[in-house]
Amino acid sequence: MTKTVEYFYDYVSAASYFSHFVLPKITEKAGATLVHRPMFLGGVMQATGNRPPAMVIPKGVWMNQDLGRWAKKWGVEFNSNPHFPVNTLAAMRGACALLEDPVFPAYDDAMTFAVWRDAKNLGDPAVMAEIVSGLGLDPAAFTEMVKDQKWKDALKANTDEAVERGVFGAPAMFVGDDLYFGQDRLFMVAEALGVDIRDVVPGY
């Protein structure tokens, strides 16, 4: 039976940025199915009483350094975002709406790169319009789409489900009923799928 990884994430999460690169490689190597579950991290934080690491000053300083180490480990470009915390509500609703659309992989890449590679503010409608236009989407139609109650409800449902299943931050990955939190646990996700992370990321 093909294994499935449910991936709960938000573009605002720096750790989700790294998992965006590595998790698909793991599931491909394992022959597993990767199921994207866009959620709103702000809602998860509120529901669980969690706080962003940056709100604890020493932890925020450490985390900025640690993210640089992980960028080197994973071999990806990473830049701090001066607009953090970025409001990703529209972007995450868009992810829900476009999930089954052929444009989704490009959309997912674009939103991910915008925050943590290009240091853009997804909370700025003009920035969002520029990004979706580059994907061949009509910005005005996109704006109306993410206002649709259907996609508001879809994002809320994903967020509520995540909290009900024990998620308290991002990225959160389920292999069966087992929850793995954080991009630093990707090696455990790989193990759960019968894969050695070193076969996916040489030099890990």
pLDDT digits (tens, 9 = 90+) for 10-54: 999 999 999 999 999 999 999 999 999 999 999 999 999 998 777
The whole domain housing 27 covers: 4-199
- pLDDT for 1 equals 62
Q: Does residue 151 carry a pLDDT above 90?
A: yes
204 lies in some domain? no
The answer to whether position 142 is within a domain reads: yes
Average pLDDT over residues 182-189: 95
**Contact predicate 26/186, CB 8 Å:** yes
Contact 83, 25 (CB under 8 A): no
Percent residues over pLDDT 90 in the chain: 88
In this structure, what CATH number is given to the domain that contains residue 87?
3.40.30.10
- Sheet containing strand 4-9, strands side by side: 33-38, 4-9, 172-175, 178-181
pLDDT tens, position by position, 100-134: 999 999 999 999 999 999 999 999 999 999 999 99
pTM attached to this predicted model:
0.94
CB 45, CB 10: distance < 8 Å: no
Is 112 contained in some domain? yes
Strands (E), 91-183: 172-175, 178-181
**Contact, 24 vs 149, CB < 8 A?**
no
Place 55 in a pLDDT band, splitting at 50, 70 and 90.
Answer: confident
Considering the domain boundaries, does residue 104 fall inside one? yes
What span, in angstroms and rounded, lies between the C-alpha atoms of 146 and 161?
A: 20
Q: How many domains does the chain have?
A: 1
Mean pLDDT of the chain: 95
Determine, yes or no, domain membership for 42. Answer: yes
